[in-house]
Structure formats: structure tokens, C-alpha cells
Structure 1
């Protein structure tokens, strides 16, 4: 059902949606603060997005990412980040998920050290999802959050909850429901601004934040913009400089060449970097979309043990620990397989092996997507990391070159891998159009990042021509079109999330895959169809 359209004017802030029920979040003070953020920082954001497009044009023309010559002094000089707060000293297991009310309570109660409440890749940014999320997080911060399910169960936060960290949307996303002076607002500034205004003082008073995860950065200048936004917010809210702390996801290929610089730009408030592995693989595909010699094999073969991902992970650990910051490991996307103990044990064995690799490499913590994986990951980290962190593991043995970060691994493309990419992208897109940002598919929790990998691989395999499956059959558009038709029919007749949006998802996936150029993000054209 379409959301009733209504426009609320507060000065020059306009809300293009039915706002009933959100008055406690969309106060005049809050809207005035959003307007200030937009007017002060959006021009810089737009300039940095233009710089992204210019860099990508160079990559499309044959250039390759590299370490910056103009920032050599930052990489070679001695400096460290500001001291890390006590609440974030032990981050051995972090759980992530959308800002849905029951999810927040379960995540805070999961036994994880940190819960990352996600307005980004695991949330579909409907107006209701984003604003309900703000209400849910405000109630969590205030200690009043409860959830009562239709079957009579009640959920409340226990007395030892995880530390709350919030991930706003990336700089590239705009929010069509908010505009200032006739211009759409940055989704990042909407998410950050509303959360900070309503919760920063309360969190600071308890020495628990506010803390943030920053996604999709590509350059140190984009980190500097975040530092400026947070500094201005601290000043507005009369908080000490450096109160706001942040962890940055290194989930774009260009950012892997600027880890020192990103830490330096945020040195007053950054506490670590995170290996955002799925988005990083997607960014590798997107950044090098014009380079036929950089194609990746199917997703199941692109594990963190392949050379270019191993180099990225170890460089992140070395960089962070040299600067006194935490090096966080990546997401385990597995979810419990009920009713099949053997298959479930195989899945858990993969999680254990992944977490063992991370802790032995020197990571200070890791991510999981499901509460059942918290004890699995924690057991590994407790055994091999008895201290709260591993900042003393400097990894001076690591020597990572440009070519190591760019080297495509060997591998194959199977019919099953091709078909899985079509299915995952189609099913996820359909669910996203229905307002769901994370979807279980074949016992993996898929979000926007994993759907983007599937989409980008399909585009590259089809547009670079003369590629073959492992059985030497050609990969072509006829096969793709047939697979889309088959999976659309199956989804339409299923009980899966988004079944009623199967045709819309198929149209979008087909258009983006047939397009001459790989689109930057699946969620940008999909957003126009979202309430």
C-alpha cells in the first residue's frame, strides 16, 4: 500500500511523507539541526562525489588504484589515534542487523560485546523503516525499549547489553523524503543527525558514546568530511571535542590504498578499521569493471584466503596497530540450519575456521550476523586472544604491494554459481522493494553488499565476452535471460519475501545487467520504487 504523501514545512526543511506518529523524532529543533547540517556540508559532499566519478572514469580508461604520492608523509611519519574509550576496549565479537525493534533487543541481549545498528546495507530505507529505527534506538538508549509479539511473547533488554554503535547510510545515498532549500538531503546526514540530536548527550553522560560505524568511504577527504560533521555536532550539542567515536569500514578498493590517511583524518575520534569483506569484493568488481584481466571467479571461490583479500586483511591489521587503532574482522553470514544437524555443523565449521584465521592474523574482533554465532566466534577469540585486544601484534612481517591488492585470483565459473547469482540478486531485490534489507537465502544472510557482488559479477561475465563455464559452455545473455525468467516464475509462486515484487525485481536486474555500463549501486534505481 502506498504511503500517503503529505508535506510538512519547517522553515525550508520539507518532509515528503506522512509524518503522523513521528513528531517526537521530527521536532522543530531536530529539523532545524538537519537543515544546518545540509547547508554547511552538502556542497562538500557533492564535490567529493564528483571526485569519485572522476577517479572511476580514469579506472574505466585503464588506470589502476595506487597509494597516493601526496600523502606519503602521513604514511611514513609517527603518530597515533586518540585514546580509545573503556567501553570499546574489548570488541571481540560484534553483531550487526537492521534497526527493527525486536532485532535491536535480541542483538543487545546476544552476548556480543557490540551491536551495530544498521541504517545502511541491512535496511531498506523506507520512510517508516528509517523513522521507526530512530524511535527504536532512542528507546534503547533510554532503557525503555520493549517488544510484544503477536503470539504473546515479550522482549526486554537485559542488564548487560552490548555496546551500541550506529551505522548511517553512505555519502552517495540521498533521502527522497527530506529536502532543504529544494534539494534532497544526504541519507547519511539524516541518519546521523537525528540519532545524535536525540541520543548523544544521554550516551555521553553514561560514557557509552555516541559511537558510529562509517561505510563506503573511498578517500581521506571523505573521512575529513565526517570529522567536520562530528566536530560541528559536538559544538552544537556542547559536548567535548572527540566525544563521538567512530570505526571506519574499509569496504572499497580505493580506501584500501588510504588506510593511514583515513585514520589520520579522523585521528581525534577514530578507534578502528573494519574489513568489510563483502562490499570490498563488490568494490573490487566495480572499480575494475573495465579491466578484463581483473575478473573474479564465482563468489563461493572468493574467500578471505585468496591472495588479494589476505593482503588487504593483513595490511589493515598492520596499519591499525601501528596507529593504536583496532583491526576488526569481517562478517560471518551463515545462519543456523534447522532440521539438518550435519549441514549445520558444516556451516559452523566454516565460521570457526574463518574466525580462527582472523584471530591468529591479529584481528581484535569480528562480526556475526546471527545471535547463534556469537558463542561460536567468542569461543575462538577467547581461546586465542585472552587479552581485550591485540594492539601489541604489530605485523611488521607484512609487506603489501599495489599489485598484491589488485591481483585477481584463479578460479572458475560454474553453471551453479551463475544461477545462484541470478537467484540471490533477484530474491534480494524483490525483498528490498518490499522493505526488507536482509534476507536469508540458502542459509546465508544476504544484504545489499552480497546482492551487489552477484549483480556485478553477472554484468562482468556477460559484457567482457567469450567467457566459458568450467564445462566450456559459453556464458551469454540468452542464458541469463532464461535464468531470470525461471527464477522470477519460482519467486512469484513462492512464499519467499518479496514474491509480489518478483516482476519489478526482474525488470530492474535485467535492465542493469544489459546496460552498457555497470551501475554504481543497485539500490539507487531501486530506491525510486521504494515507499
Structure 2
């Protein structure tokens, strides 16, 4: 095995490192990240290029279908994913959120079964956010995360077992520019995974759970295969039995929806199921078929979970997971309590209840909430309708889903100026927060993150590209889109605190809503604005 010194040759850190962060960026840990990078980065880049080729094929054919070359995997009814791991048998309510210290304490104190600690969509990947998040999870696992903010103390509860911790790493497309190996920025995925695994895997097992992950934004089973290879190397490197790591895959892309069986198959001994990442999924459908006028969708509010293509996606995911013996997790309730309006709050909370009722009746084994107050509603619904720890036994063999069902864009509803303005407000609001280093932003009593901003951006691009007509009779073109964009940016900027970044957000947004340029991801588009790359420091000399 290569020595730590040799692994760290060519490793540079370009971000400031505080004393508190040095326990994360140890020579042993940075050497492990370097090993992951040198082992897997070329494959990662090749898979990203494969995405480009796949997009060209979709643009040309205007459709998608199940892969003929993997039909034997789908048709084989014998193979299974791994049985649920310790702490993952019952996942009926999962709370999600970023990894700042306050969120970590509040999430672990919530009446939920698991906490998805998010380095991805609800975190803006500043260097401090990413490293401090690792510090916070390191401390939380060892129950050393208590702290005081002003007069208020934040302490972990001691009266019960804390929720199982699941970390979500960044997607394969993102890089960590503050950490380079041989002059090349490392993958954000490998960076987040590697630091969390290296420091905590054995400690988590000792405490009765394990190193568990959510895996986002995948577009094919080959990307799941890469994760599985990463898991195997990592476990072998520290002498941990294979299968100890578990990964739940977010089915957030339309291409992955056609490869659910194959994704579970690739991860088999490491699989802990699939999750319906609803907003990213809508974003992906628009993104992949943005050149096809048959895929134009109405106002975001009309694209509910019960429209044909979303209902088919849910049914296929549940049927696939349960046939393979793994969890089928439901989607996010993003509502925030409305404290100053009881009537509006009651309506919002009832919407949460109805959404969770739909999920548990459909066959989901658990669901997501963004706020602790929603946990009691979700728990009440799942406890009543799912008395067992999960309902993997509910095969849902009555669900029959075809490729046409997954692509059925029969979605009633119109495109309105109000819908355009709402999309602009959400996109600008999220981007402005992100540019300040904040990854989830409350807008109109909903917690918006990168996924909802992407839906807003992509709908605006799509409507302008295809020159749709609004319900008011106005053709959506470049001049109209930019006019409304600048009106909304000016209004938001005038109401916000001095020094806000709405006008900077608007400058980036201008190129994304006119049906011309289209960035692969907003987060990639904005990333350089929140990087603070400094002089290179040798990792071995920290």
C-alpha cells in the first residue's frame, strides 16, 4: 500500500483551514481523497461525457426507452438488493437539511427516524460550508456537537435513541476547486463521501449503524456502478467488510427512471433503495426534452404528483424497489409553518397530510420533511397506515408502467403571467441566497432549494424557446421574459437588505430564461462566484 506521504504528493488545498478544521483535513484523510481521485476521476469524466452523447441522442429521437442491453437484469426475478442495514429498517419519516451546526442539532433532536445531512442541494458549496459540515457531523456522531449561540444553548437529546444519520454527497458533475490532486480539482462527490467515510465509518458501526449515503443526480446505472466501485475500494482500504456502506439513490432524472432495476443491481450489496426526488425529476424531464414542443408543461403549480408522468414514475419506483427487497422512499414536504395566519397554515398542513397519505397508500416505505413541525403530521399518517416498519412486502404487482406512461405529458393547466413571475421569484430568490452562501431559502412559506430553482429556470427557458402563449394571450418571447425578469429583480432588490445579490443573480438568470443558452446546472453556472481560491498549501504540511 502506498504511504501517506506518497499519496499526498501533488495534493494542494487552496482554501483557508482553521484549527477546528484540521481534524478533518488530516494527512491520512487527504491521502485517502487523493487515492479516490486517482482511482476514479477518469471514469467519472467519461461518464459525464456520456451524458452529453445521451442528450444528443434524445434531441435527435425525441424519446427514451428501457435499455435493450440490460433486459436480462430487469427480467430476472431472483436477484435482490441487500436486506435493510441496522438503523435503516424503519425510515418512515426522514428530515433533510444542510449541515450547519444548528440544523444538525435540531434535526437530530426531531421526532423522526433518520436525518439526511445534505452537502448537496440545500447547501451552497462554499469551502467553509463543506468543511464545517464535516466537522459538525464528526462531532454529532460522537455526541460532542452541543454549542451556545448568544443566550441559547443547543444540546442533543439524551432521552432517546437519535435518528440514523445519512449523508448526501454532491452529484458527479460538481467539483471541489479548493482541493486539487496533481493540479486537477477533485470531484465534489468523492470529496464529500471520502471525508465523511474516512473519519466516521468505524465510529458509526461501533455505535450501531454504519456509513450511509444518499446518492443524487445519477443519470445511468453505469454511474451507480462507479459508486459501487468507490464503496468497495473505501471499505477494502480501511479493512471494513463489503456491504457495510449503504446508498439510497435519488431517482431525480428521467434517464435514471428507465434504469431503476439496473441501478439497484449495480449497488446490490450496498443498496438501501430508491427515493422519489420529485422536483429534480420534473427539472430533468424538461431539461432532457427541452427541444421538444410536445414536452411543454404548464405552470409549476399544475405539475402535481398525480399527473400521468409523475404518477407512473412513482408506481414504477415502488414496484421496482419492492420486487428487489429494498425501500421505496417518498418525496419532500417543503412547507414551512405559517405562524401569523391560522387559516393559511391549516390549509398548508392539510396539503402535507394529503400528500403523505397518497404516498403511504401508494406503497412508499417512508417520506421526507423539511421542517420538524411537519414530522408529526407525516408520522401520524404513516403510523396509521403502515403499522409495520416498512411495507417492502407490498409488491404492488398490480402496477404496470410502460415507457409511454413515463413520457405521458398530458398535464392539464395553462401558462400564466403569474406563473412566470413565481418562477422568476423562486429562481432569483434561490440564486441570491446561494450567492451569499445559503443553500435553502424560504419563499412564500416553502423551503426552496436548487431543485425547485432548476424547475423554475427550465420552465422559463422552455416557454420562451417554443414561444408559448399565456392564458392572457401574451406570447412568451425574449423581450417579454427579460422585461418580467428585470421587474422582479428590481422589486426583490428594493425590499431586501442593502448589499443583497439580486442584481447579480439577475445577470446570471438573463442567459437562462430566453430559450437560447442553457447551463447544465445552475450550481455549476454560479460556482465560481462562491469559490475563494487562495495560495496552494501542501496537504502534508497543514
Give the match's secondary structure for 2:500: helix
Q: Which runs of 5+ in 1 are unaligned?
A: 1-8
Report Cα offsets for 1:375-421 as digits up to 9, x if no partner.
Answer: 00000000000111101111111111111101112321111111000
Instruction: Write out per-residue CA displacement over residues 495-527 of structure 1, whole angstroms, 9 at most, x where no aligned residue.
Output: 36x961111100000022236242210111100
Who is 1:345 aligned against? 346
1: CA distance between counterparts of 2:333 and 2:499? Answer: 27
Equivalent in the alignment of 1:442? 444
Deviation at 1:325, TM superposition (A): 0.5
SS in 2 for 1:407: coil
- Mapped to 2, the partners of 1:152 and 1:261 lie a distance apart of 49
- Alignment check: 8 A CA contact 2:108 2:156 kept: no
The answer to whether the 8 Å contact 2:104/2:117 transfers is: yes
- 1:319-356 Cα distance to aligned partner (Å, 9 max, x none): 00000011000001111001100000110111011000
TM-superposed CA distance for 1:10, in Å, is 4.4
Does the CA-based 8 Å contact 2:511-2:517 persist in structure 1?
A: no
Where do 1:151-300 residues align within 5 Å? 151-158=151-158, 159-300=160-301
Q: What residue number does 1:4 align with?
A: none
Q: Is the 8 A contact 1:61 1:290 kept in 2?
A: no
Q: What CA distance in whole angstroms lies between the structure 2 residues aligned with 1:11 and 1:173? A: 23
Question: How far apart in 2 are the matches of 1:514 and 1:310?
Answer: 30
Post-superposition Cα deviations, 1:164-223, rounded to whole Å, max 9, x if no partner, equal 000000001011111111111000000000000110010012231110000011111100
Q: Confirm or deny: 8 A CA contact 1:62 1:291 kept in the other structure.
A: no
Shift of 1:471: 2.1
More moved, 410-419 vs 191-200: 410-419
Alpha-carbon distance change, 289 to 307 in structure 1, aligned in 2, over 3 angstroms: same
* Secondary structure, aligned partner of 1:335: coil
Is the counterpart of residue 451 in structure 1 residue 485 in structure 2? no
Q: 2 CA distance for matches of 1:517 and 1:511?
A: 6
Deviation at 1:12, TM superposition (A): 0.8
Aligned to 1:468: 469
1:140 maps to which residue? 140
Q: More deviation in 379-388 or 54-63?
A: 54-63
Alpha-carbon distance in 2 for matches of 1:490, 1:155 = 40
**Equivalent residues in 2 for 1:332-481, closer than 5 Å:** 332-408=333-409, 409-465=411-467, 467-481=468-482
The match for 2:46 is 47
Q: Match of 2:432, SS? A: helix
Matched residue SS, 2:97: strand
- 2:40, 2:485 → 1: CA distance? 42
Q: Which residue of 2 aligns with 1:14?
A: 12
> Are 2:460 and 2:514, in contact at CA under 8 Å, matched by a contact in 1?
no
Give 1:66 deviation, angstroms: 1.0
Deviation, structure 1 residue 134: 0.3
Structure 2 alignment gaps of length 5 or more: 1-6, 532-542
Question: 1:402 and 1:191 mapped to 2: Cα distance?
Answer: 35
Range with bigger deviation, 48-57 or 157-166: 157-166
Q: How much does 1:472 deviate?
A: 1.8
Q: Note the alpha carbon deviations across 1:34-59, whole angstroms, 9 max, x for none.
A: 11000000011011111111001111
Q: Distance in 2 between matches of 1:499 and 1:217?
A: 36
SS at match of 1:175: strand
**Structure 2 CA distance, aligned partners of 1:154 and 1:205?**
25
SS at match of 1:144: coil
Determine helix, strand or coil for the equivalent of 1:41: helix
Q: Deviations along 1:119-145, whole A, 9 cap, x unmatched?
A: 000000000000000000000111111
Q: Separation in 2 of the partners of 1:74 and 1:154? A: 49
TM-score for the superposition, normalised by structure 1: 0.96
1:510 is matched with 510
Counterpart position of 1:110:
110
Distance in 1, matches of 2:475 and 2:81, equals 52
Matches within 5 A, 1:47-126: 47-77=46-76, 78-126=78-126
Looking at structure 1, the residues matched to 220 and 500 of structure 2 have their Cα atoms a distance apart, in angstroms, of 40
Output one character per residue of 1:222-260: Cα deviation in whole Å (capped at 9) or x when no partner. Answer: 001000001100011111111101111001000000000
Offset at 1:469? 1.0
Change (3 A) 1:431 1:499: farther
Greater shift, 275-284 or 512-521, is seen at 512-521
> Structure 1 residue 479: deviation in Å?
2.3
Q: Contact 1:62/1:290 (CA < 8 Å) preserved in 2? A: no
SS, match of residue 431 in structure 1: helix
> How far does the alpha carbon of each residue in 1:240-289 deviate from its partner, in whole angstroms, 9 at most, with x for none?
11110111100100000000000000001101100000100000010111
- CA–CA distance in structure 2, aligned partners of residues 322 and 282 of structure 1: 27
Q: TM-score, normalised by structure 2?
A: 0.94
Residues 233/477 of structure 1: CA separation in 2 closer, same or farther (3 Å cut): same
Residues 284/313 of structure 1: CA separation in 2 closer, same or farther (3 Å cut): same
- Compute the displacement of 1:480 (Å): 1.7
Cα distance in 2, alignment partners of residues 63 and 250 from structure 1: 21
Tell me how far apart the structure 1 counterparts of residues 495 and 156 of structure 2 sit (CA, whole Å).
34
Answer whether contact 1:102 1:155 (CA < 8 A) is retained.
Answer: no
Q: For 2:152 and 2:270, locate their aligned partners in 1 and report how far apart those are by CA, in whole Å.
A: 43
Q: Please state how far the C-alpha of 1:18 moved relative to its aligned partner.
A: 1.3
Q: Deviations over 1:440-468 (max 9, x none)?
A: 00000000000000000000000112x11
Residues 86/25 of structure 1: CA separation in 2 closer, same or farther (3 Å cut): closer
